[in-house]
Amino acid sequence: MSATGRVVRAGAGRRRVQTLVIALAALMAVASAVVAGSLVVASSAPFDAAFARQRGPHLTAQFDTGRADAARLAATARVPGVTAVAGPYPVAVVTPQEPGGRPGIELTVAGRAGPGGALDRLTMVSGRWPSAPGEIAVSADFPPLRESALVLPGGRKLAIVGRARSVGDTADAWVVPAELDALRGPGSRPMAQMLYRFSGDATKGRLASGRAGLAAALPAGSLLGTQTYLDAKYAADRKAATFVPFLLAFGALGLVMAVIIVAGVVGGAVGAGVRRIGVLKAIGFTPAGIVRAYVAQALLPSGAGVLLGIALGNAVAYPLLGDVQEVYGSSGLSVAWWVDLAVAAAALGVVALAALVPALRAGRLRTVEAIAVGRAPGARRGRWAHRVGGRLRLPRPLSLGLAAPFAHPVRSASMLFAVAFGTAAATFAIGLAASLTAVGEASSERTAGAVTVVTEPPGPRGPARSSPATDARVRAAIRAAPGTASSYGTARTQVTVPGVVGAVDAVLYQGGPRGGAVEMISGRWVAGPGEAVVPTRFLDVTGLRVGDALTVQRQGAPVRLRIVGEAFDLDNDGMRVHADLASFASMGVAVDAYSVTLKPGVSTGTYLNGLKAALRPLGADAFPNEELDDATIVVLDSLAALLTLMLVGVAGLGVLNSVVLDTRERVRDLGVCKAIGMAPRQTVAMVLGSVAGIGAVGGLIGLPAGVALHHRVLPLMGRGAGTGLTPRMIGVYDAPGLVLLGLGGVAIAVLGALLPATWAAGVRTATALRTE
- The pLDDT tens digits for 365-401 are 777 666 665 544 444 556 666 677 666 777 777 777 7
Residue 732 makes CB contacts below 8 A (sequence gap 6+) with: 431, 434, 435, 438, 710
A 10 A CB-CB count for 349 gives 10
Look at strands 157-165 and 135-139 and give their pairing. Answer: parallel
**For residue 174, what pLDDT is reported?**
92
- Judge residue 384's burial from the number of C-beta atoms within 10 Å of its C-beta, 0-12 exposed, 13-18 middle, 19 or more buried: exposed
CA angle 144, 150, 154 (to 5 degrees): 150
Q: How far apart are CA 757 and CA 688, in angstroms?
A: 7
Name 525's bridge partners: none
Q: Are 746 and 699 in contact (CB under 8 A)?
A: yes
Q: Is the pLDDT of residue 76 over 60?
A: yes
* Helix/strand/coil for 626: coil
Q: Is the pLDDT of residue 38 over 70?
A: yes
Residue 449 has phi, psi (to 5 degrees) of 85, 175
Of 292-296, 542-546, 652-656, 665-669, highest mean pLDDT: 542-546
**Which tens digit of pLDDT belongs to each residue from 609-635?**
888 888 888 878 887 876 555 566 676
Q: Is the pLDDT of residue 331 over 70?
A: no
Mean pLDDT across 36-65: 77
Q: Comparing C-alpha atoms, which of 98, 88, 183, 187 is closest to residue 134?
A: 183
Name 92's bridge partners: 109
Q: How far apart are CA 335 and CA 314, in angstroms?
A: 7
* Helix/strand/coil for 740: helix
* Cα-based distances in Å from 563 to 329, 525, 530, 532: 34, 10, 9, 5
- How much is the pTM? 0.68
Rounded to a whole number, what is the distance in angstroms from the first to the last CA of the chain?
A: 30
Q: Are 594 and 488 in contact (CB under 8 A)?
A: yes
* Cα-based distances in Å from 136 to 109, 116, 133, 608: 9, 16, 8, 32
Q: Is the pLDDT of residue 4 over 80?
A: no
Q: How far apart are CA 429 and CA 733, in angstroms?
A: 12
Angle at which helices 680-720 and 230-272 cross, to 10°:
150
Q: Which of 26-30, 178-182, 367-371, 477-481 has the lowest mean pLDDT?
A: 367-371
Name 226's bridge partners: 61
Q: Where are the beta strands (DSSP E) in 179-322?
A: 191-198, 223-228
Confidence grade of residue 465 (pLDDT, cut at 50, 70, 90): very low
In the chain, pLDDT over 90 holds for what percent of residues?
6
* Helix/strand/coil for 284: coil
Q: Is the pLDDT of residue 29 over 80?
A: no
Q: How far apart are CA 680 and CA 760, in angstroms?
A: 8
Q: Are 463 and 482 in contact (CB under 8 A)?
A: no
Name 579's bridge partners: 508, 532
Q: Which of 655-659, 733-737, 767-771 has the lowest mean pLDDT?
A: 767-771
Confidence grade of residue 267 (pLDDT, cut at 50, 70, 90): low
Give, for 150, the enclosing helix (H) or strand (E): strand 149-151
In the chain, pLDDT over 70 holds for what percent of residues?
79
**For residue 626, what pLDDT is reported?**
63
Query: 294 vs 435, which has greater pLDDT?
Result: 435
Give, for 742, the enclosing helix (H) or strand (E): helix 735-762
Q: DSSP string covering 270-283, please?
A: HHHTHHHHHHHHHT
Q: Is the pLDDT of residue 15 over 80?
A: no
Q: How far apart are CA 596 and CA 145, in angstroms?
A: 24
Q: How far apart are CA 366 and CA 278, in angstroms?
A: 7
Q: Which of 21-25, 212-216, 528-532, 597-601 has the lowest mean pLDDT?
A: 21-25
The three-state (H, E, C) secondary structure of 158-207, written as one string: EEEEEEEECCCCCCCEEECHHHHHHHCCCCCCCEEEEEEEECCCCCHHHH
Query: 9 vs 78, which has greater pLDDT?
Result: 78
* Helix/strand/coil for 2: coil
Mean pLDDT across 468-489: 83
* Cα-based distances in Å from 543 to 499, 537, 539, 600: 10, 10, 6, 43
Q: How far apart are CA 520 and CA 497, in angstroms?
A: 22
**For residue 463, what pLDDT is reported?**
38
**Which tens digit of pLDDT belongs to each residue from 163-220?**
888 887 888 899 998 888 788 766 677 889 999 999 887 788 888 888 888 888 888 8
Q: Are 266 and 354 in contact (CB under 8 A)?
A: yes
**For residue 445, what pLDDT is reported?**
45
Q: Comparing C-alpha atoms, which of 597, 431, 629, 608 is closest to residue 515?
A: 597
Q: Is the pLDDT of residue 464 over 90?
A: no
Name 663's bridge partners: none
Length of the chain: 772
Q: Where are the beta strands (DSSP E) in 253-345?
A: none
**Which tens digit of pLDDT belongs to each residue from 693-729?**
888 898 899 899 989 988 988 888 787 777 888 888 8
**For residue 129, what pLDDT is reported?**
92
Q: Comparing C-alpha atoms, which of 730, 725, 716, 731 is closest to residue 566?
A: 725
* Helix/strand/coil for 498: coil
**For residue 459, what pLDDT is reported?**
40
Q: Is the pLDDT of residue 222 over 90?
A: no
| Cα 651–chain centre separation | 24
